[in-house]
Structure 1
Amino acid sequence: MIVLENIISDRGSKYAVSGGPCASEEEARAFIATLKRRKKFAKATHNTWGLLTAGGPIKNDDGESGAGMVILRMLEREGLTGQIVVVTRWYGGKHLGGDRFRHVQDAVRIYLDHARRAAEG
């Protein structure tokens, strides 16, 4: 499990991105449960995620409407299957409007870059 905290901050909202190998919705739920064992992530406003499996795409917006689809589109563009990506947001009190989708994209990009560098060794 890769967890990158405090990667984006905007108007009080803070973001983190996490991910790791995952092959099914059951494994995705277990991944989220493991992540939420960290008190900070259990208290997050949203833990949105996306996953491409052999059986098709799976996503969960966790109240951040549309964020799961943003994650899925980026995973599809990368051709990355069998890897869950979770974007976590702690709401800071001010609405971000469409900027929240840009932050989700940036968070996924940060994760993908980190994972690519780690794989290259």
Structure 2
Amino acid sequence: MLILDNIISDRGSKYAVSGGPCRSAAEARAFIDELKQTKKFAKATHNSWGLVCADGPLKNDDGESGAGAIILRMLERETLSDHIVVVTRWYGGKHLGGDRFRHVTDAVRTYLDALKP
């Protein structure tokens, strides 16, 4: 599991991105459960994720409407399969509007760049 913490901060909200090998919906649930064993991630406002695997394209917004679709679209564009990417947000008290989509995109891009040799 690769975790990149405190990568984005905006108006009090903070973002992290994490991911790792994942081949099914069951493994995705197990990955999220493992991530949430860290108290900080368990207390996060949103743990949105995307995954392309044999079960098909899977996503979960976890209350951050549209975030899972952004993650999934980026994974499909990169042709990265059997790998889950989770964008975590801790809400800072101010609405970010459309900027939250840019932050999700930037978080996934940061993660994908970290995977490259």
Task: Give the shorter-chain TM-score range.
Answer: over 0.9
In the alignment, which residue of structure 1 is the partner of 2:47?
A: 47
Q: Which runs of 5+ in 2 are unaligned?
A: none
Alignment match, 1:79: 79
State yes or no: 1:112 paired with 2:115. Answer: no
For 1:42 and 1:75, the matched residues in 2 are separated by: 24
Alpha-carbon shift at residue 54 of structure 1 (Å): 2.1
- Per-residue CA distance 1:69-97 (angstroms, 9 max, x = gap): 00000001000000000000000000000
**Offset, 1:107:** 0.1
SS for the counterpart of 1:26 is helix
CA distance in 1, matches of 2:29, 2:43: 17
Q: Distance in 2 between matches of 1:85 and 1:74?
A: 10
Corresponding residue for residue 2 of structure 2: 2
Question: Residue in 2 aligned with 1:91?
Answer: 91
Query: Which structure 1 residue ranges, 4+ long, deviate > 6 Å from structure 2?
Result: none
1:62 maps to a residue whose letter is D
Deviation at 1:55, TM superposition (A): 2.8
Q: CA RMSD in A?
A: 0.5
Structure 1 residue 56 displacement after superposition: 1.2
How far, CA to CA, are the matches of 1:84 and 1:33 in structure 2? 13
Aligned residues: 117
SS in 2 for 1:20: strand
TM-score by length of 2: 0.99
Mind listing any 5+ residue stretches in structure 1 that lack a counterpart?
none
Seq. identity, %: 77
Letter in 2 for 1:110: T
Partner of 2:32: 32
